């Protein structure tokens, strides 16, 4: 393991960075992430981490004066700055404004007051992508810093960084070791998988590939979507009768957002567990020695899996990328399967789409002869809509009774480990899910003998 950096970066010339020593240090820190450890020595529980050796190529200054500055006599930028960060200088024979990054506190007053609008706000991609305002910059080193008290583990910053300077812990090594130890390891593949790898790669393709890699079996988490929808329908109906407001609980980043940024609303979170946990409990009820591994497009699921308060949850979580690398390690490719196995209803299969949870719950209520038109649901597609709805609920001004919250735009299918753009996914997903029987949620649970799973956190 210690020789991996030299094996991957043999030198003598660097391939991407300033020198081979920095490149090797990045590999070393990435190896720690693959082992489930923080890149730095001080290990923390956070899933998302900065890779220090890879970070510092972005500009430190957030506000910059462009070449369009006219050096006007009014000096509105200079007069509006309370921190003496703006000065008037002569550069290349021109009088113009200059912002000292060491003094700038990024208040934005200079840009706001410039009559020519020549002061631009440059935001680092990671900071701009973070929906929780959890990313700042170390003023001394310029390195990205994650405030773990704010981080909701969504992983959007990982996807946004063009330098690969952010990463997430993975339990890939633990999963492989469990397989090699002869344990019965079960894969649980997210509903969002359908369409991610093309219309010819079905859940059966994954089942065949994972069994070749040593997994005991693969269960579709769309079945867990049916279980969650059935339990949540009962909970929503009861809350409606009591006049209570509820939020969904299947998106872990959304749950983390509530707990960290809207703690007064924590009691409004549905007590129904996520589809991932539902399938894990189902598997473990049938095989108490089972090791369960969720595979999906979500980084935040890793934080849900390490929540010790949720009994029977998934033991490990892998992203699609990590699972594919596991297969490649054994020279296994995802290939079209000969048959089509259906384990979830179409409602469970669309659970990973924005508004998919609501559609599944509404279907369950219809199957129970409850008029779903009585329920008013606010469907939140993306982090900003989630924050707006939660703020309204906090202030007591939310007209709807329920919030379906998904931090990733498009739903789980738009997660940071997705394989293609959400718009490109739709056609392949619809074609693949169109192969499924249009059975009801409760009908599918009966067919799959999956009705007696304990579905609440308590």
For 317-352, the pLDDT digits (tens) are: 999 999 999 999 999 999 999 888 999 999 999 999
Fold of 63-121: Alpha-Beta Plaits (3.30.70)
Residue 309 has pLDDT above 80, yes or no: no
The per-residue pLDDT for range 145-178, each reduced to its tens digit, is 999 999 999 999 999 999 999 999 999 999 999 9
The per-residue pLDDT for range 243-270, each reduced to its tens digit, is 999 999 999 999 999 999 999 999 999 9
> Shortest CA distance to 322 belongs to which of 181, 158, 96?
158
Residue 458 has pLDDT above 80, yes or no: no
| pLDDT attached to residue 433 | 92
Domain parsing of the chain, residue ranges: 4-58+124-168, 63-121, 172-447
> Shortest CA distance to 50 belongs to which of 32, 62, 35?
32
Give yes or no for a cis peptide into 12 (omega within 30° of 0).
yes
| pLDDT attached to residue 123 | 85
Fold of 4-58+124-168: Alpha-Beta Plaits (3.30.70)
Alpha-carbon distances of 9 from 24, 35, 45, 311, 413, rounded to whole Å? 6, 20, 30, 43, 34
Residue 105 has pLDDT above 90, yes or no: no
Residue 457 has pLDDT above 90, yes or no: no
Fold equal for 63-121 and 172-447: no
Alpha-carbon distances of 447 from 159, 255, 434, 440, 451, rounded to whole Å? 39, 31, 19, 10, 9
Residue 273 has pLDDT above 70, yes or no: yes
CB-based contact 273:228 (threshold 8 Å): yes
Identify the top-confidence range among 54-58, 139-143, 223-227: 223-227
Fold of 172-447: Fe-only Hydrogenase (Larger Subunit); Chain L, domain 3 (3.40.950)
| pLDDT attached to residue 57 | 64
Higher pLDDT, 319 or 121: 319
Q: What average pLDDT does the segment 404-432 reach?
A: 93
């Amino acid at each position: 393991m210690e020789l991996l950096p030299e094996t991957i970066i043999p030198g003598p010339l660097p391939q991407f960075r300033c020198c081979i020593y920095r490149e090797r240090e990045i590999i070393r820190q990435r190896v720690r992430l693959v082992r489930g450890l923080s890149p730095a020595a001080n290990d923390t529980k956070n899933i998302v981490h900065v890779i220090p050796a890879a970070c510092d190529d972005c500009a430190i200054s957030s506000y910059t004066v462009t070449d369009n500055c006219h050096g006007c006599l009014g000096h509105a930028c200079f007069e509006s700055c309370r921190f003496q960060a703006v000065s008037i200088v002569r550069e290349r024979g021109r009088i113009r404004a200059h912002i000292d990054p060491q003094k700038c506190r990024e208040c934005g007053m200079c840009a706001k007051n410039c009559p020519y609008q020549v002061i631009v706000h440059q935001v680092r991609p990671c900071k701009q992508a973070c929906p929780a305002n959890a990313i700042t910059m170390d003023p001394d080193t310029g390195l990205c810093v994650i405030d773990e008290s704010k981080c909701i583990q969504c992983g959007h910053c990982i996807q946004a960084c063009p330098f690969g300077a952010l990463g997430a812990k993975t339990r890939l090594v633990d999963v492989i070791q469990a397989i090699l130890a002869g344990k019965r390891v079960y894969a649980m593949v997210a509903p969002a998988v359908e369409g991610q790898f093309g219309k010819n790669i079905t859940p059966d393709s994954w089942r065949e590939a994972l069994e070749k890699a040593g997994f005991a079996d693969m269960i579709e988490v769309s079945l867990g979507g049916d279980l969650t929808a059935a339990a949540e329908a009962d909970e929503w109906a009861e809350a409606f009768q009591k006049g209570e407001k509820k939020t969904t609980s299947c998106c872990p980043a959304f749950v983390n957002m509530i707990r960290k940024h809207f703690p007064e609303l924590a009691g409004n979170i549905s007590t129904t567990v996520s589809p991932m946990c539902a399938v894990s409990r189902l598997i473990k009820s049938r095989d108490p020695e089972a090791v369960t591994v969720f595979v999906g497009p979500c980084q935040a699921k890793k934080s849900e899996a390490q929540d010790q308060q949720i009994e029977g949850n998934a033991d490990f979580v892998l992203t699609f990328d990590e699972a594919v690398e596991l297969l490649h390690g054994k020279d296994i490719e995802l290939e079209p399967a000969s048959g089509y196995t259906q384990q979830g209803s179409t409602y469970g299969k669309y659970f990973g789409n924005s508004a998919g949870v609501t559609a599944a719950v509404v279907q369950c209520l219809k199957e129970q002869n409850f008029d779903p038109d009585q329920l008013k649901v606010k469907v939140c597609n993306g982090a900003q809509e989630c924050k707006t709805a939660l703020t309204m609920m906090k202030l007591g001004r939310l007209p709807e009774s329920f919030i379906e919250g998904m931090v990733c735009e498009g739903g789980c299918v738009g997660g940071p480990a997705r394989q293609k753009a959400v718009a490109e996914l739709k056609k392949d997903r619809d074609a693949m899910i169109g192969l499924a029987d249009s059975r009801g949620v409760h009908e599918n649970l009966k067919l799959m003998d999956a009705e007696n799973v304990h579905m609440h956190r308590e």
